[in-house]
Amino acid sequence: MTDTDLHAIADDYLRRVRDALRPLPPTERAQVLDELDAYLRTELAERPGMSSDDLQQTITRLGTPEEIAESALPVAGNASRPRRRVLVTIVAAVVAALIVSGVALGLTLGQSSVASPVNPRFSAPQQIQIYPRQHATNIRFLSFSWFGINKSQWVLRTTFFKPGTMTPSNGPVEQYGPLPRLNELELVYIGSNGSIELYNTAHQRIPTPGAQWTVVPTPATTTTVPFT
Amino acid sequence: MDNADAALAQLRRGTIEFCVLALLRDEPKYGVEIARRLGDADALVTSEGTIYPLLARLRRAGLVASHLHESPQGAPRRYYELTPAGKKSLQLFVNRWRQFADAVELVLGERS
């Protein structure tokens, strides 16, 4: 097998990792890919005469794209955002409020477009309580009657993934109902990974940048973590 | 995966970032070096590639900083080093981990 063939195998692996890491911010994704690329190039350089089987073993040692993507998810309470990110979050929340106001205005004008949200992701088994604190402004804003949206009714769409992967295991599941308390959702999901999206009653997806979700490991203490 | 495996997987996931910080305690290291060191310790990582998203996350959290340095072997290497916040975080974890590990070992009867 030629060096070209080996590099093609490495490139194919990196391409699959890049696809799996799509939810990551671009700079972070680029850094991870650069490192994996450096790892593979180092192996190829240090082991002249490497066979395709050898390279596959190296790739196996690195892990599947799904494993690497899974490891990109934050652990509750660990490596939280630095304080300077809070300002960015606040700015994002303000921008989100402006976007939501635009969406609401769009509703009144009969338009259906909506900004893409940042979706909270969770890994289980965990109890998850979602506190859209930064999002509260948006909720209050949307509750104004002249937008014709009832704040007591929300649609929560959850997507579950196959264990250990980022592949949806079923279609989105929707739940309807009032918020148990103002600006809070309390949910319990056990035994799966997934994502959560919040919609209003007009089925417009509501952006939730800066929202926080609380992970409650059973039965231990509560830790609030930001999501990305 | 039985309960013990699941518990160890969670424990590994929660502690691995501090192991990375500990590896950087004495001197900066580059990515491949970190991955190989952790890969050599079988119980710590199941896949060496999972270290890289973790490094990116640590950098985003301000616990490590990274710099590109020229390498005699070829392309520049990205070296990682602890920030003051990373050192503090590591020290806090080390203190708490020792208490935790001692308590667990005591209860499990590993000591007499």
pLDDT of residue B110: 62
ipTM of predicted assembly, 2 dp: 0.76
B56 in contact with A, Cβ within 8 Å:
yes
B84 in contact with A, Cβ within 8 Å:
no
pLDDT of residue A89: 53
CB under 8 Å, gap of 24 or more: what pairs does A105-109 form?
A107/A147, A107/A148, A107/A149, A107/A202, A107/A204, A108/A147, A108/A148
Interacting residues of B31 by C-beta distance below 8 A, sequence separation 6+: A35, A38, A39, B51, B52, B55, B77, B78, B80
Tokens of B12: 């590994």
The count of other CB atoms within 10 Å of the CB of residue B96 is 11
Assess whether pLDDT exceeds 70 at residue B92: yes
> Which run of H or E residues covers position A182?
none
Q: Is the peptide bond before A125 cis (omega within 30 degrees of 0)?
A: yes
Q: In angstroms, rounded to a whole number, what is the distance separating the alpha carbons of residues A14 and A206?
A: 33
Assess whether pLDDT exceeds 60 at residue B3: yes
Do the Cβ atoms of A70 and A163 come closer than 8 Å? no
Full pLDDT tens readout for chain A, 228 residues: 677 778 888 889 999 988 888 877 788 888 888 888 888 888 888 888 888 888 998 899 899 998 888 877 655 445 544 444 545 555 565 555 555 544 443 343 333 323 333 334 443 333 333 433 333 222 222 222 223 333 333 444 444 444 444 454 444 444 444 443 333 343 433 333 445 555 554 455 555 544 444 443 333 333 344 333
Task: Show residues of chain A in contact with B86, CB under 8 Å.
Answer: none
**Cα of B47 to nearest chain A Cα, Å:** 5
Put simply, the answer to whether B32 touches A75 (Cβ < 8 Å) is no
Task: Show residues of chain A in contact with B60, CB under 8 Å.
Answer: 28, 79, 81-82
As a whole number of angstroms, the longest Cα–Cα distance in chain B is 54
CA nearest to A43 within chain B: B32
Residue whose pair of structure tokens reads 């990110």 in the numeric block:
A85
Q: What is the pLDDT of residues A189-203, one digit of tens each?
A: 333 344 555 555 445
Interacting residues of B38 by C-beta distance below 8 A, sequence separation 6+: B16, B19, B20, B23, B44, B45, B48, B51
Task: Show residues of chain B in contact with A42, CB under 8 Å.
Answer: 32, 73
Task: Show residues of chain A in contact with B74, CB under 8 Å.
Answer: 41, 45
Q: What is the pLDDT of residues B25-84, one digit of tens each?
A: 999 998 888 988 888 877 777 788 888 888 988 988 899 998 888 777 666 788 999 999
Helices (H), chain A: 3-20, 26-46, 52-62, 65-71, 84-108, 136-142
Do the Cβ atoms of A203 and A155 come closer than 8 Å? yes
Could you say which of A32, A62, A70 has the minimum Cβ distance to residue B56? A32
pLDDT of residue A139: 28
* CB-count burial class (<10 Å; 0-12, 13-18, 19+) for B55: buried
The count of other CB atoms within 10 Å of the CB of residue A203 is 11
Q: What is the pTM of this model?
A: 0.52
B contact test, residue of A31, A67, A83, A190 with most B CBs within 10 A? A31
Could you say which of A38, A71, A81 has the minimum Cβ distance to residue B53? A71
Query: Helices B31-40 and B51-60 meet at what angle, rounded to 10?
Result: 120
Do the Cβ atoms of A7 and A44 come closer than 8 Å? yes
